[in-house]
Chains A and B, each alone.
Chain A
Amino acid sequence: AQSVSQHNHHVILSEAASLELGCNYSYGGTVNLFWYVQYPGQHLQLLLKYFSGDPLVKGIKGFEAEFIKSKFSFNLRKPSVQWSDTAEYFCAVTPNSGYSTLTFGKGTMLLVSP
């Protein structure tokens, strides 16, 4: 079975700082990778996803993530965060088999101070 590890449980940044959230997964085969965001009091929304092709994927709101297969990593980045990016971020993985389910990491709470 697959698993996901997110490196930081809480991150505090000032506005305009750069962001990188770590995510590593464990699975021996081909995977689909996702980052979801949960704003306070809301449900999860998709930020970006990787299925195949260019390992650098761009998502909404200026976020991007890089898939490094050799490191089993899918780190999320943003060059300059805003106060409105305060949210919890979840990395998720599913084997690319069509009959598997999504496994989530435990989440990283990002607090951006104005």
Chain B
Amino acid sequence: DADVTQTPRNRITKTGKRIMLECSQTKGHDRMYWYRQDPGLGLRLIYYSFDVKDINKGEISDGYSVSRQAQAKFSLSLESAIPNQTALYFCATSDLWGSNTGELFFGEGSRLTVL
């Protein structure tokens, strides 16, 4: 089983609909992230959480919200989806300590299409 699991893997929805992407991890990491990948733009950070009580906006948080339900769960919501939110979304985790500081461990990605 994957250490970082995202659901759904693929979703097609319509403009104005509310969408939730879920992420769960078994790595025991405190830190979780949501990134968005668009062709030619690389990965851009949407939100991140350094522990259960911590939520921070990233580079492109407008139109998105998140919830850290537990150490292992971090969900991303689009309250009213719009077509330019069509993208590949990645959840990632990281640990603070030791030689792994800063290294990200990614989920398989959730491809979202907004019509």
Binding site for B on A (CB under 8 A): 9, 32, 34, 36, 42-46, 49, 51, 90, 94, 96, 98-107
Contacting pair A43 B107 (CB below 8 A): yes
B interface size (C-beta, 8 A): 23
Contacting pair A51 B101 (CB below 8 A): yes
Contacting pair B40 A9 (CB below 8 A): yes
Contacting pair A102 B42 (CB below 8 A): no
B43-51, B67-75, B76-84 - interface stretch: B43-51
Count A-B pairs with CB separation below 8 Å.
51
A100 to B96, CA, bound (A): 10
Contacts of B107 in A (CB 8 A): 43
Contacts of A104 in B (CB 8 A): 35, 42-44
A105 to B43, CA, bound (A): 8
A94 to B42, CA, bound (A): 16
Chain A residue at smallest Cβ distance from B4: A43
A49 to B96, CA, bound (A): 15
Interface-centre pick from A9, A34, A107 (highest chain B CB count, 10 A):
A107
Contacts of A102 in B (CB 8 A): 45, 94, 102, 104
Shortest Cβ distance from B81 into chain A, in angstroms? 22
